[in-house]
Structure 1
Amino acid sequence: TSPRRRPPSPLHPHEAALYSSIALGPREPVAFCSGHGAVEPGLPSVPRRVDASDPHSTLPSHHRARNRPAVMSRAMLLKEDGNRHFQAGDFVGADSLYSKAILADPKNPALFTNRAMARLRLRLWDSAISDCNSCLALAPDNMKAAYYLSQAQLAIGDYDAALDSARSAHSLCAVTNDKSLAAVTAAVLRCKKERWEDRERKRKREGQELETELLELLGRRRDELLSAEADDVERNSIQDETACKMAVLQQTFERARAQSDERRQVPEWAIDDISFGVMIDPVITKTGKSYERASIMEHLRRHLTDPLTREPLMPGDLRPNLALRQACEEYLEDNGWAVDW
């Protein structure tokens, strides 16, 4: 028996190239095409006959039709190489390879999300946002682009935009029943929490500034009264009265701060009985029980039964609980701390 031929060794993507040429033989032209890669030493090359009357017919029609896929495959090779660099933690190298892939195939939305992912790891927030927007311009329903966009917007403190992007990603997940629904739900909650915390910081800062301003006004008013009063008894009275007003003012602000910092109990109607977190997208079962969409869908991937009654339950049996969703939305708007409850 003849020895088995060893398969060609894989070629590094950077060394890959497309070769096509024509050699004029003694009687008729011969076209050579090696595709992606190089010919293994020792392997025979196979010539193809072509029509010499047509200067553009260097390759058969089915080979010419594959010219565009050849460019696409080069982009995919670069993408796969970029994925390997990303998995190895070389995010700079991955970014460079994804950029080359985009130059080879600028209409492929997946290449932009891959580069956005690398740029998120590199903390290049503005560049990641640009890539996500480029992807969404090509594919408006790309869930990954909306998800990554939310992360980048959150990192630069654009909390309203981040929440909008996270909600878009969540809606796309819910429609397609994507397995990333739980992660995207967590992203929505994180955006809500960070937006609430940002508003709380601003509210506290404004409250402190208001308290300082009012105390200064009381102090100036006291000084004006004292400068116009010569009687010592009246002067002492003015000072005591002003000190009392300042103390009351400070106590009022302290009580307001204490109440706002107090962690209250989350109402039971807002809690998902599977994850025990606050719901943001509740759906209702046939029995009238509501669950967070991500939680119940994850449960149904394992068991097609109602968590409460154990009766058969299918994803198509679930319906959005819009009234409860609105109530949870309003509750989290005023109680962002409840996200970590």
Structure 2
Amino acid sequence: SIIADDSNPSLYTNRAMARIRLGLYDSAISDCHESLKLSGGNLKAYFILSQCQLAIKDFDGALQSALQAHRLCVETNDKSLGPVTNQVLRCKKERWEDMEKRRIREGQELENEVIAIMERERDEMLATCDNDLDKNQVIEEWNHKIDVLRATFEKSRAASEKKREVPDWAIDEITFAIMVDPVVTKTGKSYERASIMEHLRRHPTDPLTREPLYPHELRPNIQLREACREFLEQNGWAVDW
């Protein structure tokens, strides 16, 4: 079909979806880019592109593509906002987990390097000792230093390796940020006040149901606001999530 009509962006996204099922992610990514060249506002192309980038662990690219798809959803009031929102959250989660794994690995490598340096210094001092008494003293002193270092790294690791995860209830599904001043709609769904107000300025409808929704119908979610505040106090890292 593409050979017969290479100017149809939908043909490229359709082929990209087929290639995803075959695990041909690089080829699928190429198809998405071709589709976007023909139609820069192609929501489907960005959505598929994000899935492919996530599969090859291009976490930053996947997140940016998902955010582009979300932006187009909001601008066009598209009904696929739910799946696109889930893709954005999935990208953020996997990106964070990858960063955590890298941080842990780099910390372990640093610990090993420092201990190796200390062991070399210990061995150099041992080579200058004239008797067993001096050698035993050097060994005892340096082994104690190494044990203290290991304990320090382990203590730091135990504190930092606690599962860092932002609960779904704290996330605003319009901006994907932690909510600070959540409000609740008629259907019981909560959003950050600023983001839902901005949405209503463009589209006076409920983001989920598409039913009419007006600012005066929003109500403060005081309980959720307090929960978000407590979460941020205990998890300062989540501010830049």
Please indicate the TM-score interval, normalised by the length of the shorter structure: 0.7 to 0.9
Residue number in structure 2 paired with 1:257? 157
TM-score (norm: length of structure 2): 0.75
Query: Is 1:195 aligned to 2:95, yes or no?
Result: yes
| Partner Cα separation in structure 1 for residue 9 and residue 175 of structure 2 | 31
How far the C-alpha of 1:141 sits from its partner, in A, is: 0.2
Question: Given the alignment, which residue of 163, 172, 178 partners 1:279?
Answer: 172
User: Does residue 122 in structure 1 map to residue 22 in structure 2?
Assistant: yes
Paired with 2:122 and 2:182, the residues of 1 have a C-alpha distance of 64
| RCO higher in structure (CA 8 A, sep ≥6) | 2
In the alignment, which residue of structure 2 is the partner of 1:33? none
1:151 touches 1:162 (CA, 8 Å); kept in 2?
A: yes
- Residue 204 of structure 1 aligns with an amino acid whose one-letter code is I
- CA 157–332 in structure 1, closer or farther in 2 if over 3 Å, else same: farther
Task: Describe the SS at the equivalent of 2:23.
Answer: coil
Aligned pairs for 1:88-107 (under 5 A) are 101-107=1-7
Which residue of the partner structure matches residue 142 of structure 1? Answer: 42
Q: Does 1:212 align with 2:112?
A: yes
TM-score by length of 1: 0.54
Q: Say whether the 8 Å CA contact 2:182–2:191 is kept in structure 1.
A: no
What letter corresponds to residue 231 of structure 1 in structure 2? N
Q: Distance in 2 between matches of 1:227 and 1:138?
A: 72
For 2:143, the equivalent position in structure 1 comes to 243
- Deviation string 1:74-114 (CA, Å, 9 cap, x unpaired) is xxxxxxxxxxxxxxxxxxxxxxxxxxx11121111111111
Q: 1:168 to 1:264 in 2, by over 3 A?
A: closer
Structure with greater Cα Rg: 1
Of all paired residues, the percent bearing the same amino acid is 48
Cα distance 1:264–1:140, how it changes in 2: closer, same or farther (>3 A)? Answer: closer
Q: CA deviation at 1:262?
A: 1.5
SS in 1 for 2:2: helix
Question: Contact 1:120–1:152 at 8 Å: present in 2 too?
Answer: yes
Measure how far apart 1:239 and its partner are: 0.9
For residue 232 of structure 1, report the CA deviation from its aligned partner: 2.7
Which moved further from structure 2: 127-136 or 104-113?
Answer: 104-113
1:121-145: CA deviation from partner (whole Å, max 9, x where unpaired): 1111011001100000000000000
Gaps of 5+ in 2: 184-189, 200-205, 219-231
Matches within 5 A, 1:34-53: none
Partner of 1:255, secondary structure, is helix
Report the CA distance shift for 1:112/1:332 in structure 2 as closer, same or farther (over 3 A). Answer: farther
Q: Distance in 2 between matches of 1:265 and 1:176?
A: 31
Which structure's residues are more often helix, by fraction? Answer: 2
Change (3 A) 1:198 1:161: same
Q: Distance in 1 between matches of 2:92 and 2:59?
A: 8
Q: How many residues align?
A: 203
CA distance in 2, matches of 1:305, 1:107: 40
